[in-house]
Amino acid sequence: MQKVIKSTDLNKDLSNILGQLSFDKLFLLTDENTEKFCYPVIKNNERIAKAGKMVIKAGDGNKNIDALASIWTYLSENEATRHSLLINLGGGMLTDIGGFAAAGFKRGIKCINIPTTLLGAVDAAVGGKTGINFNGLKNEIGVFAPAETVLIDSVFFKSLDHSNFLSGYAEMIKHGLVDSDKEWKATISFDTEKIDYDKLKQLVVDSVAVKERIVELDPLEKGIRKALNLGHTIGHAFESLSYELGKPVLHGYAVAWGIICELYLSHVFFGFPADKLHKTVRFIKDNYDGFYFDCDHYDRLYEYMKHDKKNESGTVNFTFLSDVGKVEINQTARKEAVFDSIDFLRECVGL
């Protein structure tokens, strides 16, 4: 099982982990940003200082086959073996592509994820989903391949810009919704303007625990792990279209808007309580601005939903809630109802 360490002393925990694992050569994958801002935090570690360091371009648009090939080329040219270890230091883009590179190199080498963004810590780095974007489709190619260890330290979150903080926070809202009233209330009452980092640290620990519990029950997403897809069927369509239009939105913004649509559908189909819908919508509306799609885009958005890899037998697969903590997986919705939910979102966020 994947080990997730919520660290308070990153260098000490990293040294311990490296001391416990057996490997011949150590490699470190960073991107242009994490090389500059996060690598300095660990670079004095003796083993890290000697590791083969790779730097790829930052941004989800670079989570592609060329970047993947460049990682494999580096590993190969620097004589990585099947017993080598890769450390992925970065956000969700970096741990996704690094995890996939590790899973494919010589049929699989071990890796450690050190997420440097909130999104990476609460979602991407944990649970073993790895992959790249392909043919304009998000995470189209990939495998389930959990990192040996995930080392989470909130030291990196303080330097996140507000949009990237919110992008990660959207996944925490989702975890609250699929888990319990207690978690949900805690996430939607958090003051995102004046961030109390001690409070945030505890919320992150609780949020990661929600994901760990679900992934442990269903690592390969055959059943209950689909709970974690709440907000993502429509959210991924917003995200993909934003890239197509050349106006990329951060993953968590698209997910937050997707959550509004899918909670609306949850209300229509499963009686998700109106007061909880409105409280969640209020929080998202207050925090996640910038929605710019209009009805001319609906058909294109629906096309993206039809391509979603969560679908089975050609129907768009949704996760709905009948209440906070009560998950209804493997649901479908008529196209008209989906369009209604996007209308609802546009009314809510003011377009």
175 lies in the site for ligand GLY, by CB under 6 A = no
- C-beta of residue 108 within 8 angstroms of C-beta of residue 43: no
Size of the site for ligand GLY (CB under 6 A): 5
Listed ranges 123-131, 135-143, 201-209, 334-342: which one lies at the site for ligand GLY (CB under 6 A): 123-131
Q: How far is the CB of 221 from ligand GLY (least distance, A)?
A: 6
276 lies in the site for ligand GLY, by CB under 6 A = no
Q: How far is the CB of 295 from ligand GLY (least distance, A)?
A: 29
Amino acid at 195: I
Q: How far is the CB of 127 from ligand GLY (least distance, A)?
A: 4
Give the count of alpha carbons within 13 A of 317, CB side only: 17
- C-beta of residue 122 within 8 angstroms of C-beta of residue 174: no
- Tell me which of 129, 138, 236, 276 binds ligand GLY, using CB under 6 A: 129
Give the pairing of strands 52-56 and 85-90. unpaired
225 lies in the site for ligand GLY, by CB under 6 A = yes
**What is the pattern of x (binds ligand GLY, CB under 6 A) and - over residues 226-265?**
--x-------------------------------------
* Largest separation between any pair of C-alpha atoms in the chain: 59
Listed ranges 1-9, 121-129, 142-150, 285-293: which one lies at the site for ligand GLY (CB under 6 A): 121-129
123 lies in the site for ligand GLY, by CB under 6 A = yes
Exposure b/e, 199-231, CB count within 10 A at least 16 = b: ebbebbebbbebbbebbeeebebeebbbbbbbb
Q: What share of the chain is helix, strand, coil (3-state, %, to 5)?
A: 55, 15, 25
- Tell me which of 127, 146, 176, 252 binds ligand GLY, using CB under 6 A: 127
Q: How far apart are CA 327 and CA 177, in angstroms?
A: 9
Comparing C-alpha atoms, which of 234, 216, 197 is closest to residue 320? 234
Site residues (vs ligand GLY, CB under 6 A): 123, 127, 129, 225, 228
